[in-house]
Amino acid sequence: MRERRFKGQQETIIKSHHNKPQPEQSQKSFEAEKPSSAKSKDEIRLNKFIANAGVCSRREADKLIAEGLITVNGEIVTTVGTMVKKTDKVVYEGNVLNTEKLVYVLLNKPKNFVTTLSDPHATHTVMDLVKHACTERIYPVGRLDKMTTGILLLTNDGDLAKQLTHPSHEHRKIYHAFLDKEITQEHLDSIAAGFELEDGFIKSDKISLVEGSAKEVGIEIHSGKNRIVRRIFAHLGYEVLKLDRVYFSGLTKKDVPRGKWRFLTPKEVTFLKAGIMK
């Protein structure tokens, strides 16, 4: 009886020893998941990739995938939940989608900041003012010279930037110019009619005195030529003491203090892309 009991105990002990590797198997299973977890850091769901490109929401992206309207590296993908790498070529309606989330930052630029990504000779650039806005690499749409203040848009949306800066789209820019002396009506009429500068003909779209002072002028123009407003007034013998851009393609400085920024609203982005805001 004792022998049997011992054997039974021995069998129990043996069984328990056979069971001991289970934690080790669990550990192996955990270790086996690690590469998958590491791999996922380099991948995102296809619907998120599409949404980050500004095409539509994730839910709507799932519909596009299911309908076979998305290709990845030349292959049609119809499986919702597909994972892709940021380096993959994702195409919708013939357009390669940007892997970065599209970002739109509206800055009220102060003076003494250069409108450039980097300049070894400049003490400050506009990028210093928006360096904490996002992790994406954004860049200025158009230029404001160092001493000019006001509205400046920064984005990583190359298509929109091209649309906003091309003269053929005639996106409006309005400046408030402070002159060194009172401007004559003759010269206001001359700017409205237009004249030749060293780089071609130029005229304002609209121009008028700012109420209360003949030294302050509001000028609307769609040309993107370098320092064009200052050169217009210099051509007629005026020095621009201060220049502020108060309007750019439907965007204003409202609720954006000097030196501060805000993100554009989805509605503003939609209107800009559609050409509704000009």
From the candidates 119, 128, 145, 189, give the one annotated as an active-site residue: 145
24, 32 contact by CB (below 8 A): no
The Cα–Cα gap between 22 and 94 comes to 53
Q: Can you list the positions of beta strands (E) in the chain?
A: 43-45, 70-72, 75-77, 83-85, 90-92, 95-96, 104-109, 139-140, 149-155, 173-179, 195-197, 200-202, 206-210, 213-221, 240-248, 251-252, 261-263
If one counts every other C-beta atom within 10 angstroms of the C-beta of residue 73, the result is 12
According to DSSP H, which parts of 158-276 are helical? 158-165, 185-193, 228-235, 266-274
145 catalytically annotated? yes
Determine the Cα angle at 170 with ends 164 and 173, to 5°: 75
Q: What is the DSSP string of 120-137?
A: TT-S-BHHHHSTTT-SS-
What residues are annotated to the active site? 145
